[in-house]
């Protein structure tokens, strides 16, 4: 542990600027919605009570603080819309993460085993869509999936189906959208893990009589575990809170928490309920991340 000494004036100034920004526009707003989540909704602007004013005395603040309530959090469990949104978000994100892994792993493996001089080009080509607009990439799928869209037309022209399949505005379309949008996040860490593997390990396993499948299952796959875990987190976490994909590709019955939150906030103006749902979402997402980080640190300490 480094000894804590005071920073110089210049250093303090350097730190103060980003710190103040974060405090004013991230920490303070988060504390504010934590407070709103304990308030109750009223018809006013802003639409919640109690509100603290700069003219309040300590007694006023104490009196107002008495009206804080956990009702909004109780409602999250009792209200089936919210509860179902959470469960369905986690399920959709989970299924999408597995699907993304199934697409990304062979893709990453094919790139990592390709000719060395081609690899930078291939990985660049695979990562390039990440730089293009997310909204446009999701939008592109509407034209493919709609009832009169290209996939249905192609299938009907080939005589494989008689009537258009309902693909657009379904939960399946949301999964496809998530797999498509987040593929680079899964691809890059897995590729990095596979590319760094020593080929002599596989050769040794083969020399000792392992079949190609055994080499894959007992050497390649276990050694790429870190890449798989990192990729899964990078897909799962943003997918749970996703708004654009379920809103554009999902049906009206596709419940996802990001969409429910958005509607509650903009359409129903129920800020306390939306704030409580937001705080709960942060806890749900950060808990596994912190546990994973702790497990990783413990493992590192164990190695020493």
Partner 1 sequence: MSRFARFGVLAAGFTFLYAPIVILAAMSFNASRLVSVWGGFSTKWYAALLENEPLIASAKISFAAAVLSAAIATFLGLLAGVALARFRAFHSRMLFFGAVHAPLVLPEVVLGLALLSCFVAFGIGRGFATLVVGHVTLTMCFTTVALLAALRGCDPTLEEAAMDLGATPVQAFALVALPQIAPAVASAFLLAFTLSLDDLVIASFATGPGATTLPMRIYSQVRLGVSPQINAISTLLLGMVALALGGSALVMLLGKRRGL
- Least gap, CB of 89 to partner 1 (angstroms): 10
Helix (H, G, I), strand (E, B) or coil at 167: coil
Token couple for 20: 């103040």
- C-beta closer to partner 1: residue 11 or 69: 11
129 belongs to the binding site for partner 1 (CB under 8 A): yes
Strand partners, 108: none
48: helix, strand or coil:
strand
The C-alpha atoms of residue 36 and residue 274 are separated, in whole angstroms, by 9
CB of 290 to partner 1, least distance (A): 10
- In angstroms, what is the minimal distance from the CB of 87 to partner 1? 16
Kindly list the distances between the CA atom of residue 67 and the CA atoms of 52, 73, 156, 269, in Å, as whole numbers in the listed order.
Answer: 12, 15, 62, 20
Question: What tokens were used for 61?
Answer: 């603040």
Residue 96 burial (C-beta neighbours within 10 Å; 0-12, 13-18, 19+): buried
136 near partner 1, rule: CB under 8 A:
yes
Q: Is the distance from CB of 248 to CB of 262 less than 8 angstroms? A: no
User: Binding marks (x or -) toward partner 1, 38..67, rule CB under 8 A?
Assistant: -------xx----x----------------
The minimum distance between CB 271 and partner 1, in angstroms, equals 7
Among the listed residues 174, 205, 219, 278, the single contact to partner 1 using CB under 8 A: 278
CB of 168 to partner 1, least distance (A): 10
Residue window 162-191: x/- pattern of binding to partner 1, with contact defined by CB under 8 A = ------------------x--x--------
Contact call for residue 28 and partner 1 (CB under 8 A): yes
Does residue 244 belong to the site contacting partner 1 (CB under 8 A)? yes
Interaction residues for partner 1, span 107-126 (CB under 8 A)? 107, 109-111, 113-114, 122, 124-126
Omega cis (within 30) before 46: yes
Q: Does 14 bind partner 1 (CB under 8 A)?
A: yes
Sorted by sequence, the CB contacts under 8 Å of residue 257 that are 6+ apart come out as 82, 85, 86, 89, 240, 241, 277, 281
- How many helices and strands, by DSSP H and E, does the chain display? 16, 2
Partners of 40 in the β-ladder: 49
Give yes or no for a cis peptide into 50 (omega within 30° of 0): yes
Q: Restricting to residues 256-275, which ones interact with partner 1 according to CB under 8 A?
A: 258, 261-262, 265, 271, 274-275
Site for partner 1 in 187-216 (CB under 8 A): none
* 68-76, 77-85, 130-138, 223-231 -> range binding partner 1 (CB under 8 A): 130-138
């Amino acid at each position: 542990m480094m000894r804590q000494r005071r920073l110089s004036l210049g250093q303090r100034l350097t730190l103060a600027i980003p710190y103040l920004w974060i405090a004013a526009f991230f920490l303070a707003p988060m504390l504010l919605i934590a407070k709103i989540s304990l308030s109750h909704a009223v018809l006013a602007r802003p639409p919640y009570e109690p509100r603290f004013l700069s003219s309040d005395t300590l007694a006023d603040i104490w009196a107002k603080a008495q009206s804080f309530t956990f009702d909004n959090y109780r409602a999250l469990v009792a209200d089936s819309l919210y509860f179902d949104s959470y469960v369905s978000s986690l399920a959709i994100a989970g299924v999408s993460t597995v699907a993304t892994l199934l697409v990304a792993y062979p893709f990453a493996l094919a790139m990592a085993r390709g000719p060395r001089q081609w690899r930078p080009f291939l990985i660049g080509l695979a990562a390039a869509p990440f730089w293009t607009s997310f909204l446009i990439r999701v939008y592109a799928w509407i034209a493919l999936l709609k009832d009169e869209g290209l996939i249905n037309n192609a299938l009907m022209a080939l005589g494989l189906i008689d009537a258009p399949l309902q693909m657009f505005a379904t939960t399946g379309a949301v999964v496809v959208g998530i797999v498509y949008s987040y593929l680079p996040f899964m691809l890059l860490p897995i590729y990095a893990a596979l590319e760094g593997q020593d080929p002599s390990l596989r050769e040794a396993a083969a020399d000792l009589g392992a079949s190609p499948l055994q080499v894959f299952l007992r050497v390649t796959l276990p050694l790429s575990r870190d890449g798989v875990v990192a990729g899964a987190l990078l897909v799962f976490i943003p997918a749970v809170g996703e708004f654009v994909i379920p809103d554009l590709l999902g049906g009206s019955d596709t419940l996802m928490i990001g969409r429910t939150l958005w509607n509650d906030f903009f359409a129903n103006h129920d800020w306390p309920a939306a704030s409580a749902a937001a705080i709960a979402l942060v806890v749900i997402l950060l808990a596994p991340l912190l546990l994973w980080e702790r497990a990783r640190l413990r493992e590192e300490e164990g190695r020493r």
